[in-house]
C-alpha cells in the first residue's frame, strides 16, 4: 500500500510513535519561544538589534527569508522535531551567538555526556581531540551555522538537549541527530540506521499488529 506524502507532512513512522508532538523544525522552534514575546527590541536583550525573541509577531518571517539558501529552507521545513516531555520551558530568550555552531554542539555534548541518553553523544569521545563523528559532521554544516545565527546559542543548546531532531535523508528517510533514541521507543530500528520512513510499519503479510507497540508512548 502506498500513501502520498506531501512536503512538510509528518512521516507516518514519526506520527505513529510521537503522534501530534512531531512537528517540522521551524514550527517546533516557534513553539519553544517564550510567550508573550518581548514587546519591543529596545527592551530585548539584543538591545535593539532585533532577534528572534523580539520578533514576536512574525518569528517565521525572521527564521525563513526569501533570500535563504534552499538547503536551509529544507532543514527548517523538512526536518521533524519532537520536544521531550521532560523539557523545561524556555523562560526568557537571550540572543547570543558568541559560540560557533561547532562549539555549541561540543559544549552541549560535554554537558550531557554520561548522564543522558541522547543520540547527539553517539560515538563522541571526550578524550579524543580530533573528533570524527557523523552527528557532529551533520550538525556543523554551513546550513546549521545559518540556523545558529538566527536562533542563537541558548535555543540551539535547548534543542540539542531536549528535542529529538530528524533530518531528511536519502530516499525519504530521516536521520536522528539529537534527543532520546527512537530505537529505544521502537525495537524495529537499529542503532545506526537512518529512520526508514518509507518501509517501517507498512502492513506485514503475516498480519502482525506492530502498531500496538506504540500504544504507550
Ligand atoms: Zn531581540
Ligand atoms: Zn516502530
pLDDT band at 5 (very low <50, low <70, confident <90, very high): very low
Residue % of the chain over a pLDDT of 90: 43
Per-residue pLDDT tens over the stretch 69-111: 999 999 999 999 999 999 999 887 777 878 999 999 999 999 9
* Amino acid 211: pLDDT: 37
CA of 95 to the centre of ligand 1 (A): 7
pLDDT value of residue 155: 94
Give me ligand 2 centre to Cα 204, in Å. Answer: 12
Better-predicted residue by pLDDT, 191 or 49:
49
Distance 188 CA to ligand 2 centre (A): 5
123 pLDDT above the threshold of 90:
no
| Cross-strand bridge partners of residue 195 | 174
Averaged confidence pLDDT in the chain: 81
**What was the pLDDT predicted at 209?**
34
pLDDT at site 56: 66
Q: Could you tell me which residues come within 8 angstroms of residue 170 by beta carbon, excluding any fewer than 6 positions away?
A: 194
Place 37 in a pLDDT band, splitting at 50, 70 and 90: confident
Long-range contacts of 12-18 (CB under 8 A, 24+ apart): 12/197, 12/201, 13/195, 13/196, 13/197, 13/200, 13/201, 14/80, 14/82, 14/166, 14/174, 14/195, 14/197, 16/201, 16/211, 16/214, 17/182, 17/185, 17/186, 17/214, 17/217, 18/82, 18/164, 18/217
Would you kindly state where each structural domain of the chain is located, as residue ranges? 22-209
CA distances from 119 to 29, 96, 166, 176 (A): 19, 25, 11, 7
Is a pLDDT exceeding 80 seen at residue 57?
no
ipTM: 0.67
Instruction: Find the ligand nearest to 151 CA.
Output: 1
Q: Considering every ligand atom, which ligand is closest to the CA of 55?
A: 1
Burial class (CB in 10 A: 0-12, 13-18, 19+), 127: exposed
pLDDT attached to residue 105: 94
- Find the ligand nearest to 217 CA: 2
Closest ligand (CA of 11): 2
| Residue whose C-alpha cell reads 541558548 in the numeric block | 154
CA 16 to ligand 2 center in whole angstroms: 8
Amino acid at each position: 500500500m502506498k500513501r502520498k506524502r506531501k512536503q512538510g507532512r509528518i512521516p507516518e513512522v514519526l506520527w505513529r510513535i510521537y503522534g501530534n508532538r512531531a512537528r517540522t523544525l521551524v514550527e517546533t522552534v516557534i513553539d519553544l519561544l517564550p510567550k508573550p514575546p518581548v514587546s519591543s527590541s529596545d527592551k530585548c536583550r539584543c538591545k535593539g538589534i532585533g532577534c528572534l525573541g523580539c520578533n514576536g509577531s512574525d518569528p517565521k518571517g525572521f527564521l525563513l527569508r526569501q533570500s535563504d539558501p534552499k538547503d536551509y529552507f529544507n532543514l527548517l521545513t523538512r526536518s521533524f522535531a519532537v520536544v521531550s516531555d521532560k523539557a523545561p520551558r524556555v523562560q526568557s530568550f537571550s540572543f547570543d551567538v558568541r559560540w560557533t555552531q561547532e562549539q555549541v554542539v561540543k559544549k552541549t555534548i560535554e554537558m550531557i555526556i554520561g548522564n543522558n541518553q541522547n543520540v547527539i553523544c553517539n560515538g563522541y569521545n571526550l578524550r579524543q581531540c580530533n573528533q570524527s563523528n557523523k552527528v557532529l559532521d551533520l550538525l556543523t554544516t554551513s546550513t546549521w551555522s545559518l540556523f545558529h545565527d538566527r536562533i542563537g546559542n541558548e535555543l540551539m543548546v535547548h534543542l540539542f538537549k531536549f528535542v529529538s531532531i530528524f533530518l531528511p535523508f536519502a530516499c525519504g528517510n530521516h536521520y536522528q541527530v539529537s534527543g532520546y533514541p527512537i530505537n529505544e521507543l521502537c525495537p524495529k530500528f537499529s542503532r545506526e540506521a537512518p529512520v526508514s520512513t518509507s518501509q517501517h510499519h507498512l502492513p506485514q503479510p503475516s498480519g502482525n499488529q506492530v502498531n500496538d507497540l506504540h500504544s504507550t508512548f
